[in-house]
A and B are shown apart, each in its own frame.
Chain A
Amino acid sequence: MTTRNKTVFEPKLALRALGRSFYKLNPFSLWRNPVMLIVEIGSLVTTVFVIVWAIQGVNIAFVLQVSIWLWFTVIFANFAEALAEAQGTARAQSLRKSRQDLFARRILPNSEIEKISAQSLRKDDIILVEDGEVIASDGEIIEGTSLVDESAITGESAPVIREAGGDRSGVTGGSRVLSGKIKIRITANPGETFLDSMIKMVESARRHKTPNEIALEILLIGLTILFLVVVITLPALAGYMGVRTTVPILIALLVCLMPTTIGGLLPAIGIAGMDRLLQHNIIALSGRAIEAAGDVDIVLLDKTGTITLGNRMATEFIPAPDVSREEIIEAALLASLADETPEGRSIVVLCKNELGIKGRDIRAPEGSIFIPFSVQTRMSGINVSDRRIRKGSVDAVREFIESAGGSFSELISRQVDEVASHGDTPLVIADNGRVIGIIRLKDVLKQGIKSRLAQLRQMGIRSVMITGDNPLTAASIAAEAGLDDFVAQARPEIKLEAIRRYQTEGHLLAMIGDGTNDAPALAQADVAVAMNAGTQAAREAANMIDLDSNPTKLLDIVEVGKQILITRGALTTFSIANDVSKYFAIIPAIFAAAYPQLGILNVMHLSSPLSAVLSAVIFNAVVIPMLIPIALRGVRFRTRSVSTLLKLNLLIYGIGGLILPFIGIKIFDLIINLLKLV
C-alpha cells in the first residue's frame, strides 16, 4: 500500500521505460496499436521531407520541428505503455524474488529426502517444510498443521494457521513456516505460478486485449480512417478553390485529428489496472475479469468469515424466573472457565463485562472437576463440591435435569423458542436439577461489514449471503447486516444453481470462495476470487487470487474495474473534444492565405500559419505524457448516482477537453514566437 503515495514517475522505472519506448518504435511491435502505427508512418514521411528539402536547400526549420514532435508523439505513447509494464512487472518481480534461490527438501518415492533448488521443483513433487523454513513454491498441505508467516507476500504481519484437509490448505511460495512440520504437494511448475502468469499478462507481447478494449479500438480506428479520408481528399477539394497544401501540413493535421491521446494511453490503462489490483494484494489472472468486475451487480458472500466473525458469541444472559442475575452469571462463569471453545471463551468475556472486571485471572475453586464437551453428552460444565453445573443444548440439558429429578418449566421452553426464533442459539444452564437460565449465543457481524454492504448498494450492487444455516437464522443475519438476499442451507450444488439462476436473469456475479466445495461455483461466477489460503481446487477455478484472504476485497476489485472503464471513457472523450480546437488552429492556417476572410476562424489569434500548425502538433504530443498520471492512477470512482458521475466526467473531460487545448495551443504559439522557432 505504501506504493500508492509514490510518484508515478519513479526514476529507475521511468528510465527503463524510456529505453523500452525507443525499442517499441519497431513497427512490428507497434502493429498492435494501429493508431500509433499511422502516426509513426506520418513521422517517417515527414522525416523523408526533411532530408529531401535539406538536400534541395529549402528552409527546413518548420518541417524538422513538426517531424521531431511527431516522433515524440509516438515515443510518449510508447513510454506510457512501457512505464505501466515496468511498474506492474517490478511489483510482481519483487514478490517473486522472495522465492528465488530457495532450497527445498523433496521426499522421494522411496521416502528418502533430497535437497534441491526451488527452480527444479515440478508439479506434484512432495516437499517437507519445518520450523523456520521458507516454503519454496505454491502448493497444498497434505499432512500436518503449521503456523505460517505470509508477510513477505501479503504484508500482513499476523501469522496464520494452515493445515491439511480443510479449506485452509493452500500455501504460497515465499512464505515462512513459524512452527509445525508439514508435507506440501507442489501445484505449479517453475514459471507457472500465479505470479508468473500475472507477469506474463503484463508483458505486452502476450497480453490479450479485452473485448471492451477491442470495441474501443474499433471506434478509434474508425475515426482514424475517417480523418485519413478527410485529410486525403482535402488537397483535391481545396485545390479546386485554389488553396495549396503541402504534405507535412496535411500529416500534421491528420495526426492532430486522430485520437492519439487515447490511442497512445489505451494499453497503459489496462496494465495499470492490473498493477493497482496488485497493490491491493490481488493477482488478476484475466483482464476480462477485471472489466467484468466493473459490471458486477450481485456479489455472493459466504456468511462465515465474511459477514460474521465465524464463531457464535454469548451476548445475553436470560435468568430463569426465580434466579438472580448474579446467580446466572456466576454459574455461567464457573461452567465456562475451563472451556476453551470459542463459545466458552465468549461466555467468560461476557461474564467479566457484566461483572465489570477486566483481565483479572479468575480460577475455578480448588477441587472442582471440569467436564469437557463431548459429542455424546452435548454438554460441558463443572463439578464444584456437590454442585453439578452444566450448560448445553436444550435437549441435552432437559435430559440432564429430568434425570436429576427436576423439571423443565413451560416458561423456559417458551424463552428458548423465542431466542431461536431470532436465529440465535440458546444454551441452557442447569445446576443439579434446577434450570438457572439461558445464554444467548449470537453470530456476531464483522466490524464495518454493514457500511461496506451499504457502499455496495450505493454502487448498484446487491449482496447475497450464502450460508449453511437454516433459513430462519439466515434471514435474521441478513436483516441485521443489511443484505439483499440469502441462500440458506447451501450445499455446493445449491450454490451453483443459485449462480446459474442469477446469470440467466442477466446478472453478473462476483464470488469469493476458499473451499474445494466452492470450486464449481467459482468456475461459474463471472468474477471469481479465490483466497490464497484456500484449496488448490478453489484457486484454479478462480480468475483472481486474493493474497490477503480478505473477503471484503470485492469492493476494491469492483472499484478498480470501474476505474479502468471510466479512465478509458474519459480519455476518449477528452481526445475527441480536443479536435475542435485543432481545426480552429490548422484550418485557417491552411486556407487564410487564399481567402483572408477565413481568418475569422483564427479565434486564438495565432501569430502565423506555420506557428499555428506547430503549436497544435506540440500540444497533441505533450498532452500524452501530461495524462500519463491519470492513465496509470485511474480516474477516481465516486460512489454517486450514475447521472451525477457522468455529468462530472463530462464536465471535466468533455468540456475541459474542449477548452484546454485552446489555451494550450495559444501558449505554445506564444513560446514559439518568443523563441522565433519558425
Chain B
Amino acid sequence: MNSVIIYLATFFTILIALAILSGRYMARVFNGQPTFLTPILRPLETLIYRICGIHEEQEMSLKDYSVSVVVFTCISLIVLFLLQLLQKLLPFNPEHFGPVRWDTAINAAISFVTNTNWQSYSGETTMSYLTQMFGLAVQNFVSAGVGIAVAIAMMRGFIRKEVKTIGNFWVDLVRSVVYVLLPLSIILTIVLASQGVVQTLRPYVKAQTLEGKQQTIAVGPAASQVAIKQLGSNGGGFFNVNSAHPFENPNWLTNFCELLAILLIPVALVFTFGSMIRNRKQGFALFYVMLILFLLGFGIALWAELSGNPMLGKIGVAGNANMQGKETRFGVVSSVLWGQSTTCTSNGSVNAMHDSKMPLTGLVYMFNMGIGEVIFGGVGVGLIGMLFYVILTMFIAGLMIGRTPEFLGKKLGPYEMIMAVIGVLLPPVALLIGSAIAIISPVARTSIANPSAHGLSEILYAYLSAAGNNGSAFAGLNANTVFYNLTLGLAMLVGRFATILPGLAIAGSLANKKTVPTSIATFPTTSILFVGMVVTVIIIVGALTYFPIFTLGPFLEHLQLFGGKLF
C-alpha cells in the first residue's frame, strides 16, 4: 500500500512540476517572447513562414481564424485519405500493403485529423511506413497543434479588449509544433528508444519459433510515433494492442514516462491559461477542478479493480484484484492510472484492455469521455471544453449574486451562451443518437460480441470515444464495418468541431468586449467555492445526460456481477 502511495505521490509531483514549467514556457512562446529554445528554433520557425508565405505579424479576425482551421482540416483529411488509397503505388511499403478499404480510410483520415486516433484496423497489417509516417505521424503533430492553437486563441479572447483579432492561426500552429511538440517528442523518443522501444524502417522480422513455425514480428519506426501519440493526446498505436505491446512500452520506466507524456501538455495548458490571462491563481483554480475530478474517478476505478471480481475470488483462481486484461509488468495501480489518464485526456492509448475492466471502472472511463473530455482533456480542446463548463457555471453563479453573468471581467451574453451550450451538449446529443441507431440497426448489431449489459456498454463506449475524440475502445466491438466507420467518423467530426468552432466564436466575441473591472461585488473565481461549483456542474450535467443509459449498461452489469450472474 505504501509503495502505491509513494508511486502516486512521485508521479503527481513530477507531473505538476513539469507542467507548471512547460505551462509558463508555452505562454512565452505564444506571446512571442524569447525562450531558451528561441536561438535554436527561431531559424526553423522563420524558414517555415518563408516557405509557406505566412506573415507573422498579421492578426486574424474570428472569421479568418475559423476559416483557416476548417480549410487546414479539410486539406489534411483529403491528403490522408488519398495517401491510404494510393499507398501501394508509393515508396516505403516493404510489406507491400494494398490500398486501405474506402470506409476504413475515411474513418482513419477523420480519426487522425480530429486528434481522435480511433483505429478500426490493425496498424501493423494495414498501413505502409509512408502512410504511418507522412500521414498519421504528421497528423499526430498538427492535429494536436490545431488544438493548442485554438486554445491559445480562446485565452486571448479573455485578455484582449475591444479588438477584432484573436491571433494568427498559422503562426500559432507552427509555434505549437516547432516549440512545443517537436522538442518534447524528440526527448521522449530518445528515452523510449533507449529502453528498447523499436525504431527502424526495415521490413518485419521473420522468426523461427520453438515449435519450428515461422512467425512474423512486426517492427517499424515505433518510438517516434509513440512519443507524439502520447504527447499530443492522439493515442493511435503503432501496433494494434497499443501501449500494452512490449515494443511500444517495454518496462515500468517507459510506462512512467508515457504516462507523464499523456498528461503533460493538457495539464500544462491550464497553467499557460493562468499566465496568459495574467492571473496564475485562475490557472490553479481550473487545475484543481480537473484534479479533483481526476482523483474522484481514479479512486472509484482503483477501488473497483482492487476489490476484483467476486466470482473469480470465490472459486479461488485469482487473488482479490482484477488482473484480467492487464500486463503483469504494469500491475493494477499503474494500469488504472493509465486508463484514467487516457480517458480523461482524450488520448485513447491503452496499456491494458478496457473491455475486461470491472463494470464500475468502465463506468468511470465512460463518464470521463461522456462529459466531453474536459478533465485535462485533449491538448487544447480539453481546456476549451472546460471553459464551456466554466461559462455555464458562471452564468448561474453570476445570476445568484445579482449580476448579469461575467467571467474574468467579460460579460457573458446570449452569444457566449449559445456557443457554450453547443460545445457542452452537441457531442452527447450526437453520440446518444449514434448509439441508438447502432443498437437498432441489424447491420450494426451483428458486430457486438457480448449481447448484454456489457454489449450495450461496448456500443456506447465506441460512440463516447468517438464524440470525445478519445480513440480508445472496448475491444469487444468489431468496428471495422462500413456502418461503424462512417457513423463513428461523423461522431468524431461533431466532437471536434463542436468544440473548436464554438471555442473560437467565444474568443472572437470576448476579444471584442470591454473588460469590466473587478470590485467587491464580483464573484471571486479563484475561490474554493468556484472550484466546487464547477466540479458540481460538470458532475450534474454528466449525470443527468447518462443516468438512464449508464444504469442499464455498466451499473446493471455491476449489480449482475455481484449478484452472481455470468456471461
Contact = CB atoms under 8 A, between A and B. Distances in A.
Interface string B545-564: 10111011001100110010
Nearest to B556: A595
User: For B421, B516, B543, B563, which residue has the most chain A Cβ atoms within 10 angstroms?
Assistant: B421
B425 A597 contact: no
B439 A240 contact: yes
A598 B404 contact: no
B517 interface: yes
A572 B395 CA distance: 11
A222 B551 contact: no
A342 interface: no
Contacts of B402: 294, 561-563, 565-566, 637, 645
A236 B402 CA distance: 43
B467 to A, nearest CB: 13
A641 interface: yes
Nearest to B401: A642
A219 B522 contact: no
B433 interface: yes
B417 A218 contact: yes
A48 interface: no
Nearest to B402: A562
Nearest to B411: A295
A570 B517 CA distance: 25
B210 interface: no
B353 interface: no
Interface string A581-601: 001000100110001011011
Contacts of A45: none
Given A226-B429, A597-B559, A237 B397 contact: no
B529 A646 contact: yes
Contact of A219 (B392, B432, B520, B548): B392
A239 interface: yes
Interface string A545-571: 000000000000000011101101110
10 contacts: A212-B399, A233-B433, A243-B552, A294-B404, A508-B516, A566-B400, A569-B396, A570-B399, A598-B559, A650-B533
A505 interface: yes
A239 B544 contact: no
A214 interface: yes
User: For B451, B545, B552, B563, which residue has the most chain A Cβ atoms within 10 angstroms?
Assistant: B552
Interface in B411-451: 412-414, 416-418, 421-422, 424-425, 428-429, 432-433, 435-437, 439-440, 445, 451
Interface string B12-40: 00000000000000000000000000000
B104 to A, nearest CB: 26
A572 B440 contact: no
Given A229-B433, A642-B521, A295 B404 contact: yes
Contacts of B398: 565, 569
A520 interface: no
A378 interface: no
A642 B392 contact: no
A479 interface: no
Interface of B: 392, 395-405, 409, 412-414, 416-418, 421-422, 424-425, 428-429, 432-433, 435-437, 439-440, 445, 451, 453, 455-456, 460, 514-517, 519-524, 527, 529, 533, 540, 543-545, 547-549, 551-552, 555-556, 559-560, 563
Contacts of B563: 597
Given A233-B435, A291-B404, A643 B414 contact: no
A481 interface: no
Given A212-B404, A294-B402, A225 B521 contact: no
Contacts of B437: 236
A215 B395 contact: yes
A229 B425 CA distance: 10
B522 A215 contact: no
Contact of B396 (A227, A572, A583): A572
Interface string A77-98: 0000000000000000000000
Contact of A570 (B400, B416, B540): B400
A420 interface: no
User: For A561, A597, A600, which residue has the most chain B Cβ atoms within 10 angstroms?
Assistant: A597
A152 interface: no
Contacts of A219: 392, 395, 417, 421
Majority secondary structure, B binding face: helix
A506 B408 CA distance: 12
B551 A295 contact: no
A16 interface: no
Contacts of B400: 566, 569-570, 573, 645-646, 649-650, 653
B439 A237 contact: yes
Interface in A138-178: none
Query: For this complex, into which size category does the number of interface residues on chain A fall?
Result: 35 or more
Contacts of A226: 425, 428-429, 544-545
Interface string A493-529: 0000000000011111000000000000000000000
User: For A223, A232, A237, A565, which residue has the most chain B Cβ atoms within 10 angstroms?
Assistant: A237
B425 A225 contact: yes
Interface of A: 211-212, 214-216, 218-219, 222-223, 225-227, 229-230, 232-234, 236-241, 243, 257, 291-292, 294-295, 297, 459-462, 504-508, 561-563, 565-566, 568-570, 572-573, 576-577, 579-580, 583, 587, 590-591, 595, 597-598, 600-601, 637, 641-643, 645-647, 649-650, 653
B547 A587 contact: yes
A225 B239 CA distance: 40
Contacts of B548: 230, 234, 237-238, 583, 587, 590
B401 A646 contact: yes
A460 to B, nearest CB: 3
CB-based closest 10 A-B pairs:
A460-B521, A569-B399, A562-B402, A222-B421, A233-B436, A569-B400, A236-B436, A597-B559, A215-B417, A460-B519
Contacts of B417: 215-216, 218-219
Nearest to A566: B402
A598 B409 contact: no
A160 B519 CA distance: 39
Contacts of A577: 540
Given A591-B552, A597-B556, A643-B527, A506 B521 contact: no
Contacts of B543: 580
A69 to B, nearest CB: 22
A460 B524 CA distance: 13
B414 A645 contact: no
A225 B540 contact: no
Given A212-B405, A291-B404, A587-B551, 20 more contacts: A215-B413, A216-B399, A218-B421, A225-B425, A226-B428, A230-B432, A230-B545, A232-B436, A236-B440, A294-B403, A506-B515, A507-B516, A565-B399, A566-B399, A566-B400, A569-B401, A598-B555, A642-B521, A642-B522, A642-B524
B166 to A, nearest CB: 20
Contacts of A576: 540, 544
Contacts of A292: 404
B362 to A, nearest CB: 16
Given A215-B412, A566-B402, A460 B520 contact: yes
User: For B401, B414, B560, which residue has the most chain A Cβ atoms within 10 angstroms?
Assistant: B401
Contact of B403 (A211, A214, A565): A565
B545 A506 contact: no
A343 B543 CA distance: 72
Given A219-B392, A597-B556, A460 B551 contact: no
